[in-house]
Amino acid sequence: GEDVEQSLFLSVREGDSSVINCTYTDSSSTYLYWYKQEPGAGLQLLTYIFSNMDMKQDQRLTVLLNKKDKHLSLRIADTQTGDSAIYFCAQGDDYKLSFGAGTTVTVRA
């Protein structure tokens, strides 16, 4: 979507941390989301962050939000082969989400 931008590709070694970045334009969204899509599957919600928060940690996932710069990032600690997928950041309210183009994460041994 034109309102949300992400880098397209990320290659990471197994066991390292992955950081996926996203910028957005609509500062009015109450929540921002990270979704994961594996081949042949729909989207799975990984985590979300309330727009008034700076950081949220959920097991291996850490979300950082810089509201001033409209920048959102997702860090995956100890990246595993099962983390290979496309990751989408999304924003929106009222059941109408705008998605970024998706970042394809490839985990190499």
Partner 1 sequence: KAGVTQTPRYLIKTRGQQVTLSCSPISGHRSVSWYQQTPGQGLQFLFEYFSETQRNKGNFPGRFSGRQFSNSRSEMNVSTLELGDSALYLCASSPGGSSSYNEQFFGPGTRLTVL
User: Who contacts 6 (Cβ-Cβ below 8 Å, separation ≥6)?
Assistant: 20, 21, 22, 23, 87, 88, 89, 100, 101, 102, 103
Q: Regarding beta strands 61-66 and 9-13, do their DSSP bridges make them parallel or antiparallel, or are they unpaired?
A: unpaired
> Quick one: which of 72, 79, 100, 103 contacts partner 1 (CB under 8 A)?
100
* Those residues with Cβ within 8 angstroms of residue 78's Cβ, 6 or more apart along the chain or in another chain: 15, 17, 60
Question: Is residue 1 close enough to count as binding partner 1 by CB under 8 A?
Answer: yes
Pairing of strands 9-13, 103-108: parallel
Nearest-Å Rg of the Cα atoms of the chain is 13
Instruction: Provide the minimum distance between the beta carbon of 24 and partner 1 in the complex, in angstroms, as a whole number.
Output: 14
Span of 10-18, 59-67, 74-82, 96-104 interacting with partner 1 by CB under 8 A:
96-104
Tell me which residues in 26-65 interact with partner 1 (CB under 8 A): 30-31, 35, 40-45, 48
Residue with smaller CB distance to partner 1, 17 or 44: 44
Residue 101 binds partner 1 (CB under 8 A): yes
Q: Give me the least distance between CB of 108 and partner 1, in Å please.
A: 24
Residues that bind partner 1 (CB under 8 A): 1, 30-31, 35, 40-45, 48, 88, 92-102
